[in-house]
Structures are given as structure tokens and as C-alpha cells.
Amino acid sequence: MSILVDEKTRLLVQGITGRQGTFQTKLMLEYGTNIVAGVTPGRGGESVHSVPVYDDVATAVEKHGANASIIFVPPPGVEEAILEAVEAGLKLIVTITEHVPVHDMLRAKAVAAREGVTVVGPNTPGLISPGKCKVGIMPASIFRKGDVGLVSRSGTLLYEVASTMTRAGCYQSTCIGKGGDPVTGMTVTEYLQLFENDPDTRAVVVLGEIGGSEEEDAAEFIKSNMTKPVVAYIVGRSAPSDKRMGHAGAIVSRGLGSAESKVEAFESAGVPVARRPREIPELISKALASGRK
């Protein structure tokens, strides 16, 4: 199995006629993702790579039974795009756009949560269940169908580690970039819960970085709730405090959210922490052999 996306995903692309929407639609179709419709206001009646385009989400959902959306619209339009998708009844919304205004995302997140809608991102490469479905912009060739879940705050780190795992024969069930903006739809802990409930995910890798407390929170969750082995990797050990390193979510302030605190939290929860990506496959293998508990 996998989490969130699989062969039953019927995808809608919001902003399909833009440059990135058009380009990434082509790549997702080539991977085998079932893209049933696209939406760009004022462009209804057109098509992109043979995918019909509509003026609004509700019409596209009604005509094609879409159950998920991926958003390629400029930052000021993301809140409206998410709310339109929620109102149309979609249950998974993947927001590729970065630098979404914080208050816009806070409002959209609150509405989505109230309606039971899963939001991945913003500022995410998306997610992929190898061999089944890709909803995002990640290079599909580096992933292989397997039984190890992967969740990362960084898109490029996700690529590096997935590629390293694949070369080592450590294949994946679902790989998710949770998003790098300050406010994102789901937490690392919430993704861990989904992997814990997936019968075909045997182990999970958490890729973290400086800033915020999500990794520390995840470590607390792992202590009491995870029966499956978890391996972690944290970047930013040499980053100076009080400086943003990379995207908007990566900032350490007054000692909070440092790499050291995250490593310590995972180790105290019994989670092995790799110092280099190449160590991850071996740590997974050892964890599966011994069991976390």
C-alpha cells in the first residue's frame, strides 16, 4: 500500500495553463498519474496535453470525479485556490507554490482542517507513491516501489536521500516533501501517524533541518506511538543561530530548533540518527532486523 496517493487518485491541476503547470502536467502524465482535468479561470474549453481545462474547480470535479488537486498558482492566489478545492469536496490538496503569505495559509489551513481535508505544502515538491502515482515535481527516476516511508522538510534533501536509498536497494512506499514555508498543512507527526497505520510501510525515515520544533514533537510521538522503526537525518549542524538558512522555515532563534536539540530528541526516543545520507540504508536495515521496540 501507500499513503495519500495511489492508483485510485484522480488528479486535478489548478493553474494548468501556466508554464510550470503545463510542464509538470506532462511529466506526471508520463509517470502514469491519472490527471482528469485542469482549472484556469477564463481558459475553460481549452486542453493541455489532452487534459480538459475548466474555469472552476467545482465544474471539473462534477464532470470528472477528481479527488485530489495540485496547485500551481502565484502566492497571492493560493488561499483562494485551496478554499475553492475544499468547497468542491476534494480531500487532498498539494500546494507547490512557495512564499505563500502566512495569514493566507493560516486561514486556508483552518478551513481545510475543519472539513477534514489534507493539505501538503506549501513550498513542497509534492509526494510520490512509486509505481503508482506522482503528485508533484520530483524526478521520478530516483524512486522505486518498496516498503520504507520517507518524509522530509526539504525537497532537495528528499531527492538526495531517496536516490541514495534506491541505489542501495532500499525502496520506498510513499515519499513526501512536507513543505518549507513557515506554515504548512500537516506536521511531521501527522505523517508518521499515517505511515504507522499503513500495513505495507515497514519503516520510516524522517529528514529534518534546523528551525521550529516539529522534529522534537515527532520524537515525542515516536516514543509512545510508533511500533515501526524510524531513522532520522538532520541537516544544519554547523548553521549559525538567528540566521535563516535556506527557506523560510529554517531559522534558529535563541537556541530553539537547533540541529543539536533535534538530534538529542530523536536519540532519546531510541531513533538512530545518521550523520550522512549514505548511512541511512544501513540504519534502516539494522532497525528492521532488530525492531524498534
pLDDT beyond 80 at 39:
yes
pLDDT beyond 80 at 251:
no
Per-residue model confidence (pLDDT) at position 241: 55
pLDDT beyond 60 at 255:
no
Per-residue model confidence (pLDDT) at position 76: 98
Interior angle at CA 72, CA 68 and CA 73, nearest 5: 120
pTM, two decimal places: 0.92
Per-residue model confidence (pLDDT) at position 40: 98
Between 160 and 2, the higher pLDDT residue: 160
pLDDT beyond 70 at 244:
no
Q: For 66-70, 159-163, 235-239, which range has the lowest pLDDT when averaged over its residues?
A: 235-239
263: nearest Cα among 274, 277, 254? 274
Catalytic residues: 247
Per-residue model confidence (pLDDT) at position 164: 98
Mean pLDDT of 193-212: 95
pLDDT beyond 50 at 236:
yes
Mean pLDDT of 38-64: 98
- Please give the Cα distance from 202 to 221 (Å, whole number): 17
pLDDT beyond 90 at 16:
yes
Give percent of the chain with pLDDT exceeding 70. Answer: 92
Per-residue model confidence (pLDDT) at position 163: 98
pLDDT beyond 50 at 293:
no
Per-residue model confidence (pLDDT) at position 257: 79
CB atoms near residue 133 (< 10 Å): 25
Mean pLDDT of 259-277: 95
Mean pLDDT of 202-222: 95
Mean pLDDT of 117-140: 98
16: nearest Cα among 41, 39, 49, 45? 39
Per-residue model confidence (pLDDT) at position 61: 98
Mean pLDDT of 161-175: 98
Strands, E assignment, the chain: 11-14, 35-39, 47-48, 51-54, 68-71, 92-95, 118-120, 126-129, 133-136, 145-152, 172-177, 203-209, 230-235, 273-274
pLDDT beyond 90 at 252:
no
The model's pLDDT over 77-89, given as tens digits with 9 standing for 90+, comes to 999 999 999 999 9
pLDDT beyond 70 at 273:
yes
The model's pLDDT over 90-106, given as tens digits with 9 standing for 90+, comes to 999 999 999 999 999 99
Average pLDDT, the chain: 93
The model's pLDDT over 143-154, given as tens digits with 9 standing for 90+, comes to 999 999 999 999
- Please give the Cα distance from 26 to 24 (Å, whole number): 5
